[in-house]
Amino acid sequence: MKDYLLELVSRKEGYNAKLNAMREYLQAYTLRVMHDEGVFRSVAFLGGTALRFLHGLPRFSEDLDFSLAQKPQVKFEVLLKKIMSELAAAGYDVSLGYNDKKTVNSAFVKFSGLMFEAGISPLKSQKFSIKIEIDNNPPRGAILETQLVNKYFPISFLSYDINSLFAGKLHALLSRQYAKGRDYFDLGWYLSKWKGIEPNFALLKNALEQTGWSGRVPDKDNWRELIYKVVEHVDWKKVKQDVEQFLENPLDLHIFTQENVMRLLKLEVF
Above pLDDT 70, what percent of the chain? 99
DSSP-assigned beta bridge partners for residue 97: 108
Last residue of a domain, one of 110, 133, 160: 160
| 41 and 126 assigned to the same domain | yes
Last residue of a domain, one of 103, 138, 160: 160
| 67 and 177 assigned to the same domain | no
Domains in the chain: how many in total? Answer: 2
What's the rounded Cα separation, in Å, for the pair 248 and 256?
Answer: 13
Q: Is residue 206 included in any domain, yes or no?
A: yes
Residue spans of beta strands (DSSP E) within the chain: 43-46, 63-68, 94-99, 104-112, 127-135, 144-151, 153-160
- Give the pairing type, strands 63-68 and 127-135: parallel
What's the rounded Cα separation, in Å, for the pair 194 and 192?
Answer: 6
DSSP-assigned beta bridge partners for residue 146: 158
Residue 268 pLDDT: 56
Q: By the 8 A CB rule, do 67 and 85 touch?
A: no
| 25 and 151 assigned to the same domain | yes
| 151 and 167 assigned to the same domain | no
Last residue of a domain, one of 160, 190, 220: 160
What's the rounded Cα separation, in Å, for the pair 204 and 198?
Answer: 11
Q: What is the pLDDT of residues 50-93, one digit of tens each?
A: 999 999 999 999 999 999 999 888 899 999 999 999 999 999 99
Closest CA to 75 of 52, 120, 43: 43
Q: What is the pLDDT of residues 207-217, one digit of tens each?
A: 999 999 999 99
Structural domain span for residue 249: 163-265
Q: Is residue 173 included in any domain, yes or no?
A: yes
Q: What angle do CA 199, 202, 204 make, to 5 degrees?
A: 55
